[in-house]
Amino acid sequence: MKILLRCFGLTVCLLGQLGSVSPVQAAVQTLNLFGRSNGELPAVVLDEADWRWLRDKGSLRLGVSLPDSAPFGMITGGQDYEGITADYAALLAGMLHIRIEVLRYDSRAEAMQALRDGELDLVGTVNSFDGTDPELALTSPYVQAPSVLVTRCGTSKVLAPDLAGNRLAVVDHVQPTDAVTANYPKAALQLHPSAQSAIGAVAFHQADAYLGDAVSTHYLVGKYFHNDVYLTTLSGVFSTHFSFALNQRNRQLLQIINAALEVIPISDRMTILRRWGAGDLNVAGLDPLQFTEAERRWMHKHPRLTVAVNDGLPPVSFFDGQGEFRGIGAEVLAKVSQRTGLKFDVLRSSSMEKLIEQVRAGNADLIAAFTPSAVREGELRFTRPYLTSPFVLITQEGVDRPQSLEGMVGKRLAMRRGNALSEYIRGTFPGIQLVETATSAEALALLDKGEADGALNSLINGRYMILRQYRDRLRVASVVGPLSAPTGFATDRGALELYSILDKALQSIPPEELDELTSPWRHDVVIDNDSWLHHRSAVIQGFVIFALLLILALVWIAHLRKLVSIRVKAERALNDQMEFMRALIDGTPHPIYVRDREGRLISCNSAYLDALGLPREAVMGKRLIDSPVVGRSDAQTFQAEYVKVMESGTRWLQDRTYIHTDGVVHTVYHWMLPYHTSEGVVMGIIAGWIDISDRQRLMEQLQNAKKSADDANRAKTTFLATMSHEIRTPMNAVIGMLELAMKKADQGIMDRFAIEVASGAARGLLDLIGDILDIARIESGRLSLTPERASLRELVESVVRMFEGVARQKGVRLLLDFDLKASRDVLIDPLRFKQILSNLLSNAIKFTDEGEVRLSVQTVLGVCGERLAIHVQVKDSGIGISAEDQALLFNPFGQARNNHQSARGGSGLGLVISRTLCEMMDGQLHLTSVPGKGTQIDIRLDLLILQPVPAAESPAAVLTDQASVLNILVIDDYPANRLLLSQQLFYLGHSVSDAEDGAHGLRAWRNGHFDVVITDCNMPVMNGYELTRAIRDEEKSLGAEPCLILGLTANAQPEERDRCLAEGMDDCLFKPISLGDLSARLASVQSGVEPSTHGALSPVVEGEINLSSLQQLTHGDHNAIRKLLGNLASSNEEDMLRLIKLFGEHDLSGLSGLAHRVKGGARLIKAGSLILCCEQLETVCMGADSAALTEAVDALQQAMEQLAQTLERHMADPDAVERGAGIAVD
């Protein structure tokens, strides 16, 4: 009982201890280190501290893991660890005089984690992929292996260089997948746990290629997959270095192992590699051949070659019982294929002459095994030999047989025709009677039969043949002749690239590898590859008997089959004809039907039934008039046409329409033709149609689209003609009046009236451009409203005041009838409302010569008192408009045609814009007119009423007290505009400074104090927006009072004003700006300087080059005129340099912009030819004619050079300024 209790207690303790063991510890197994490297160990030099550390350490723990990574590390017998890594570990143990313990883990991850935790000292077979771990350190590599590609044997598929669309197998923890993916981005990557698994996937069609290191790949292919896969080519993706991995903290052990690995000699390293099948790393494409570019192109063009093989030259070349090419030549060809990637197709031949003929005729590219001779070298080109064997004399067994060539004198010597020793024997032993045969086998057969006394053959072939067929009958007597029998490849004399490729491939095969290929064939080993030779007679006799019996049976069977075949063919032909007819009719996508002489339907295809939407039984056997297909009238028409076709015997083709029973009208191309019997009797009609309804609709749509395009084209022509008229009319007034004023100015007469007329015409032209822009915004949907608080009465009265003078001049009374209830603040776009009233009053006064124009504003409060309904009426007593013309007035550029008043001016855009603006305000505009009595326009709007706000001091009151001088900075990249604005500000009495771009302007602003900055928005270096942001940032950082920044641009768009405000500007001014507008905008600015009578003039000029006008503009300041001309000349030089640069870069956008810039300055001095050249270049830049571009640039450059010369001459003559002489540049 006590014994049982003790046993139970012991069991409990053991179970408790086992339960306390961690899973990782339970998986660790200690193995024996089985190293195969023996002999003298190299001495390693270490410091005394290192030796002391090793003695204290006592042993090193080497970690290995599953699965095996052959041939680096393998577990054999369940307890021994061997391989390349084991051999190196054993060397290290002996060199460092320390014991190495091997611990096995279930996975590589567990082993690496144990190394990080300090449970192991080192782990073997570690590559650079694992070396990326920052906690690990790698020793010097003990094996360096290039990467190789492995593909499957027997496949005809040629792998692309980038493996596109192929499955590429790699080992998960060995190959750097990022490098593999970078080199083969189009390959489908497969990760495998081991190299053996990955190569197996290729061998068994689960992958197309394997990429791995050369050492393990060569070992595994040679041991397990020799007949399944082969190494194709060297891959330059990576080169794998195998090292020992240590913990990063164990630096002393890292130095010790590196020192030991460094002294291991190359011979020992090669011994280890050779021991594990990797000593010949230069095989199978691992040592890349240096092919020339021509050779690579040749191989790419000829991936498969035909090799001629002699089937009677064993063991060099022969065919086994299954017809497979065997022998030393076959194995050498396989090596060549591995190194070059070429594939070989075998062409069997029975004699050397046939081999040569096959190459000559181009049926074969090379001969697998051939011995050169003087005669053959004139016909073929021979590579270096891969096999050399001496010539021997073969005789029959017996003591009285010849032993040498001397003993063969007077006897018969059999040899293969073309043998290399034939000339030697004829010259040295003329008494020997030579018997030439087609093959070496025939020579031995003659010797065996006694028809020859000796035979000459190579040693390897003769010995093999004796052992195979003539054992104990023939023997090798002696080695003869001064030459050996070299065997190599033979090519055509002209195939230089192929010869060079084969020769380089043979050079890459080391001699020891060739010895390994030939050694199995040099021993007494015979492969019984042809049982046919042993049983040929019996097989032939049995075959003859069987053939006779078979012939008798076949004759009878053939007779019966012939009778059956005739009947089957007839039935098949009939069925084929029926099937053909069915497919021809039923498979046609268009309806086809057949009717008899009575009009009954006897056949139709599926398309016919689908088109009519009826089942087959509803129409078969019925006339069209009896079936619910079409209306009765259409059916009768069709029936009459059927009869007409059958009576006339001619076909009928026509387009026609019919109405289906569902009411849909179809347009079809209908055809009918009669069909006859073999006697020519008409039996009915075959008919069908093609539905062209969709085509007809497309034709109608095409016609409509063409009409719309023609209308649009005519509208464009009308628009251009109208615009030409509307623009030229005010331009005629501007140019004519200014020309008249200039002529009078030359006579000392100041014609103010002409200038006023020109100014009025120019303003009208500006209004016309504004209307055109509004029309463009309307058509593009970009016209928008900006509602704000406004007094309705003030808006109406301001418009009336504006037209009072015009009405008074014409003698027309302008009356305002304003309802006092409309004196409210409302939410409205004041600019657009005034535009509507201005357009209507302008038209009313323009077409009223006597009487009155009445503007009436009546209001009705809404129900809730929050909205105001406005009724605006403009009524005149003018000439009126006919009803026909009223339909045209609301089209762009539409004017009344029943009067001559239209010639007075107007583009015909006002009413269109006014009506559009009313509709955008949710209102209505209605026109009524009677010719000869007048016109009335009614506008109805519904506006939101705003609550009154406390009255503020009027701007007029503020302005009356302001007479201070402002310090203003003007920034513009164009000198003429800069001078114009400076002179305008100087005229207003302000102090002005200027700068040529944003960068200079920013420096000027920093160095001075300015109340106002007026800047152009678009400038080089730094534009106005960037300048504004920079100024605002500096003002914010310095805490300074913000100055007034005004943008100045020619882009008169609301979006431009919004952008200026968004960038930090206070307002945006649009070019051209008048003195009144400029003065009004600056009136509210507080000055920081005292008034002065002397202003700083900007060195910019505006206006004509005529010096009298410049003198008026500059108040007679001759220095300012000279400065203007100097700036114009400098700007002209810069623009010429920029013109050449942009033309050299073919920058069309830049050239167009430069031409526009130069044109602006040219207009100021009225340089007509320069303006024309600029406009021509702008037009050419919109096209792609390089010749026209060159001519336009050349013309502009010449015009600019002429301007430069003219300005230079004038500036050189100081008296010209005072004389007021003009400069003619045109």
* CATH code for position 735: 1.10.287.130
Residue 539 is assigned to a structural domain of this protein: yes
- State the pLDDT confidence band at 1121, using cuts at 50, 70 and 90: low
Tens of pLDDT along 245-273? 999 999 999 999 999 999 998 878 888 88
On whether the CB atoms of residues 386 and 487 are closer than 8 A, the answer is: yes
516 vs 643, residue with greater confidence: 643
- State the pLDDT confidence band at 779, using cuts at 50, 70 and 90: low
Residue 802 is assigned to a structural domain of this protein: yes
Q: Are residues 575 and 629 in the same domain?
A: no
- What is the spatial distance between Cα 922 and Cα 351, in angstroms, rounded to a whole number? 106
pLDDT of residue 1012: 94
On whether the CB atoms of residues 295 and 497 are closer than 8 A, the answer is: yes
- State the pLDDT confidence band at 176, using cuts at 50, 70 and 90: confident
- State the pLDDT confidence band at 93, using cuts at 50, 70 and 90: very high
Residue 155 above 70 pLDDT? no
Q: Are residues 1053 and 1109 in the same domain?
A: no
* CATH number of the CATH domain containing 1184: 1.20.120
Residue 991 is assigned to a structural domain of this protein: yes
- State the pLDDT confidence band at 1222, using cuts at 50, 70 and 90: very low
What is the average pLDDT score of the chain?
A: 80
Residue 143 above 80 pLDDT? yes
Tens of pLDDT along 1082-1101? 887 766 544 433 333 333 33
- State the pLDDT confidence band at 960, using cuts at 50, 70 and 90: very low
Q: Are residues 541 and 665 in the same domain?
A: no
Average pLDDT over residues 133-159: 81
- What is the spatial distance between Cα 386 and Cα 460, in angstroms, rounded to a whole number? 13
pLDDT of residue 1088: 52
Average pLDDT over residues 301-315: 87
Please give the single-letter amino acid code of residue 687.
A
pLDDT of residue 827: 92
Q: Are residues 59 and 82 in the same domain?
A: yes
Say how far residue 760 (Cα) sits from the centre of its chain.
59
Average pLDDT over residues 576-598: 82
Highest mean pLDDT among 155-169, 659-673, 817-831, 946-960: 817-831
Residue 119 is assigned to a structural domain of this protein: yes
Residue 12 is assigned to a structural domain of this protein: no
- State the pLDDT confidence band at 528, using cuts at 50, 70 and 90: very low
Q: Are residues 1186 and 1130 in the same domain?
A: yes
* CATH number of the CATH domain containing 856: 3.30.565.10
Q: Are residues 658 and 738 in the same domain?
A: no
- What is the spatial distance between Cα 262 and Cα 142, in angstroms, rounded to a whole number? 9
- What is the spatial distance between Cα 1060 and Cα 1071, in angstroms, rounded to a whole number? 15
pLDDT of residue 959: 36
- Among positive and negative, which fits the CA dihedral 1054, 1057, 1063, 1064? negative
Residue 993 is assigned to a structural domain of this protein: yes
Contacts 24+ apart (CB under 8 A), 897-902: 898/931, 899/847, 901/846, 901/847
- What is the spatial distance between Cα 461 and Cα 441, in angstroms, rounded to a whole number? 9
pLDDT of residue 1213: 67
Q: Are residues 930 and 1027 in the same domain?
A: no
Residue 298 above 60 pLDDT? yes
* CATH number of the CATH domain containing 232: 3.40.190.10
Tens of pLDDT along 350-370? 778 888 899 989 999 999 988
- State the pLDDT confidence band at 509, using cuts at 50, 70 and 90: confident
CA distances from 166 to 171, 189, 195, 202 (A): 17, 9, 18, 11
| Pick from 368-377, 384-393, 733-742, 1021-1030: least confident | 733-742
- Expressed as residue numbers, the domain containing 1025 is 959-1100
CA distances from 173 to 125, 142, 186, 279, 1063 (A): 11, 19, 21, 25, 59
366 vs 216, residue with greater confidence: 366
Residue 1109 is assigned to a structural domain of this protein: yes
Q: Are residues 1107 and 1094 in the same domain?
A: no
Residue 37 above 90 pLDDT? no
- State the pLDDT confidence band at 6, using cuts at 50, 70 and 90: very low
Q: Which of 176, 192, 282 is nearest to 231 (CA)?
A: 282
* CATH number of the CATH domain containing 1079: 3.40.50.2300
Q: Are residues 1115 and 1204 in the same domain?
A: yes
| Pick from 586-590, 1138-1142, 1173-1177: least confident | 586-590
pLDDT of residue 250: 92
Structural domain ending residue among the three candidates 275, 302, 329: 275
Q: Are residues 572 and 602 in the same domain?
A: no
| Pick from 15-24, 276-285, 752-761: least confident | 15-24
On whether the CB atoms of residues 273 and 279 are closer than 8 A, the answer is: yes
| Pick from 207-221, 789-803, 962-976, 1110-1124: least confident | 1110-1124
781 vs 616, residue with greater confidence: 616
- State the pLDDT confidence band at 203, using cuts at 50, 70 and 90: confident
Structural domain ending residue among the three candidates 885, 920, 945: 945
On whether the CB atoms of residues 69 and 212 are closer than 8 A, the answer is: no
pLDDT of residue 10: 37
pLDDT of residue 739: 78
- Let me know if 568 is exposed, middle or buried by CB neighbors in 10 A (0-12, 13-18, 19+): exposed
**Residue 582: HSE in the Cβ half-sphere, 13 Å Cα cutoff:** 6
Indicate the number of domains in the chain: 7
On whether the CB atoms of residues 984 and 1075 are closer than 8 A, the answer is: yes
Beta bridge partners of 929: 935
- What is the spatial distance between Cα 885 and Cα 717, in angstroms, rounded to a whole number? 20
pLDDT of residue 976: 78
Give backbone dihedrals phi and psi of 315, rounded to 5 degrees, phi first.
Answer: -90, 10
Average pLDDT over residues 299-320: 86
Average pLDDT over residues 845-867: 82
Residue 874 is assigned to a structural domain of this protein: yes
Q: Are residues 1165 and 1210 in the same domain?
A: yes
Average pLDDT over residues 1206-1216: 69
Q: Are residues 800 and 921 in the same domain?
A: yes
pLDDT of residue 19: 40
| Pick from 331-335, 1032-1036, 1153-1157: least confident | 1153-1157
Residue 415 above 80 pLDDT? yes
State the pTM of this model.
0.36
Structural domain ending residue among the three candidates 209, 242, 275: 275
